[in-house]
Structure 1
Amino acid sequence: MFQRYQAALSQRQEEAQFRSPHTYTPVDATHVIYHGSTYLMMASNNYLGLTHHPHVQARAKHAVDTYGTGSGGARLTSGSFPLFEELETKLAAWKGTEAALTFTAGFMANLGTITALAKPGDIIFSDQWNHASLIDGCRLSGATVKVYPHKDIATLEAMLQDSAASSMRFIITDGVFSMDGDLTPLPELLDLANRYDALLIVDDAHATGVIGDGRGTAHHFHCESPRIITTGTMSKALGAIGGYVCGTQTMIDYIINHSRPFIFATALSPADIGASIGALEVLEDDPSVYANLRINTEYMHHALRSLGIPGSSDTPIFPIIIGSNEDTLSASRICKEHRIILSAIRPPTVPVNTGRLRLTVTASHTQQDLQTVIEILQKLPTVTKL
Structure 2
Amino acid sequence: MPRRRSTGRTFDGEDDFDEHLARRLAARERRDLRRGLTPADRVGERARFATDRGSDPPSFGPTELVFASNDYLGLAGDERVRRAAAAAARDVGTGAGASRLVTGDTAVHRALERDLADAKGTARALVFSSGYAANVGTIAALSPAAVFSDELNHASIVDGCRLSGAETVVYDHADPDDLDRKLRERGADGPRLVVTDSVFSVDGDVAPLADLCDVAEAHGAWLMVDEAHATGLYDDAGGIVQRDGLGERVHVQLGTLSKALAAQGGFVAGSEPLVEHLLNAARSFVFSTGLAPPAAGAAREALRIARENARRERLWENAARLRNGLADAGYDVRGETQILPVVVGDRRDALALAEAVRDRGVVAPSIRPPTVPEGTSRVRVAPTAAHAATDVDRCLDAFRDAGREVGLL
TM-score interval, normalised by the smaller of the two chains: over 0.9
Which residue of the partner structure matches residue 56 of structure 2? none
> What do the CA deviations read for 1:172-212 (whole angstroms, capped 9, x no partner)?
00010000110000000011111111111100000112245
Please state whether the residue corresponding to 1:52 is helix, strand or coil: coil
Which residue of the partner structure matches residue 220 of structure 1? 243
**Amino acid across the alignment from 1:245:** V
Which residue of the partner structure matches residue 167 of structure 1? 190
Change (3 A) 1:222 1:147: same
Which residue of the partner structure matches residue 104 of structure 1? 129
**Amino acid across the alignment from 1:378:** R
1:333 alignment partner, one of 338, 351, 355: 355
- Distance apart, 1:146 and its partner CA: 0.5
Which residue of the partner structure matches residue 276 of structure 1? 299
Q: Structure 2 unaligned segments of length 5 or more: list them.
A: 1-15, 50-59
Alignment check: 8 A CA contact 2:332 2:344 kept: no
Alignment check: 8 A CA contact 1:198 1:227 kept: no
Change (3 A) 1:226 1:252: farther
**Amino acid across the alignment from 1:295:** E
Change (3 A) 1:383 1:88: farther
Which residue of the partner structure matches residue 267 of structure 2? 244
Counterpart CA distance in 1 for 2:188 and 2:356 is 54
- Higher mean C-alpha deviation, range 345-354 or range 97-106: 345-354
Counterpart CA distance in 2 for 1:94 and 1:350 is 33
Which residue of the partner structure matches residue 223 of structure 2? 200
- Distance apart, 1:11 and its partner CA: 1.2
1:42 alignment partner, one of 58, 67, 87: 67
Alignment of 1:308-323 (within 5 A): 308-311=330-333, 314-323=336-345
> What do the CA deviations read for 1:322-365 (whole angstroms, capped 9, x no partner)?
33333322222112111111112222322233222110011111
Alignment check: 8 A CA contact 2:213 2:249 kept: no
1:347 alignment partner, one of 346, 369, 376: 369
Alignment of 1:25-104 (within 5 A): 25-26=41-42, 29-34=44-49, 35-104=60-129
Alignment check: 8 A CA contact 2:203 2:335 kept: no
Change (3 A) 1:227 1:282: closer
Alignment of 1:363-382 (within 5 A): 363-379=385-401, 380-381=403-404
**Amino acid across the alignment from 2:142:** L
Counterpart CA distance in 2 for 1:129 and 1:312 is 15
Please state whether the residue corresponding to 1:151 is helix, strand or coil: coil
Alignment check: 8 A CA contact 1:16 1:326 kept: no
Which residue of the partner structure matches residue 36 of structure 2? 20
- Distance apart, 1:143 and its partner CA: 0.6
Q: Which has the higher contact order (CA 8 A, sep 6+)?
A: 1
- Distance apart, 1:213 and its partner CA: 5.3
Please state whether the residue corresponding to 1:25 is helix, strand or coil: coil
Counterpart CA distance in 2 for 1:95 and 1:5 is 45
Alignment of 1:105-144 (within 5 A): 105-119=130-144, 122-144=145-167
- Higher mean C-alpha deviation, range 338-347 or range 85-94: 338-347
Cα RMSD over matched residues?
Answer: 1.6
Alignment check: 8 A CA contact 2:233 2:306 kept: no
> What do the CA deviations read for 1:81-139 (whole angstroms, capped 9, x no partner)?
111110000000001111100000011110111110024xx111100100000000011
Alignment check: 8 A CA contact 1:322 1:383 kept: no
Counterpart CA distance in 2 for 1:242 and 1:45 is 14
- Higher mean C-alpha deviation, range 199-208 or range 154-163: 154-163
> What do the CA deviations read for 1:273-326 (whole angstroms, capped 9, x no partner)?
110011011123x31111111111111121122123333574110011233333
The TM-score, its normalising length taken from structure 1, stands at 0.95
Which residue of the partner structure matches residue 302 of structure 1? 324
- Distance apart, 1:373 and its partner CA: 1.1
Counterpart CA distance in 2 for 1:324 and 1:352 is 8
**Amino acid across the alignment from 1:185:** P
The TM-score, its normalising length taken from structure 2, stands at 0.90
Counterpart CA distance in 1 for 2:153 and 2:375 is 19
Q: Structure 1 unaligned segments of length 5 or more: list them.
A: none
Counterpart CA distance in 2 for 1:247 and 1:341 is 37
**Amino acid across the alignment from 1:15:** R
Please state whether the residue corresponding to 1:124 is helix, strand or coil: strand
Count matched residues. 381
Alignment check: 8 A CA contact 1:69 1:271 kept: yes
Which residue of the partner structure matches residue 287 of structure 1? 309
Alignment check: 8 A CA contact 2:141 2:278 kept: yes
- Higher mean C-alpha deviation, range 202-211 or range 28-37: 28-37
Please state whether the residue corresponding to 1:223 is helix, strand or coil: coil
Alignment check: 8 A CA contact 2:228 2:256 kept: yes
Q: Which has the larger radius of gyration?
A: 2
**Amino acid across the alignment from 1:85:** R
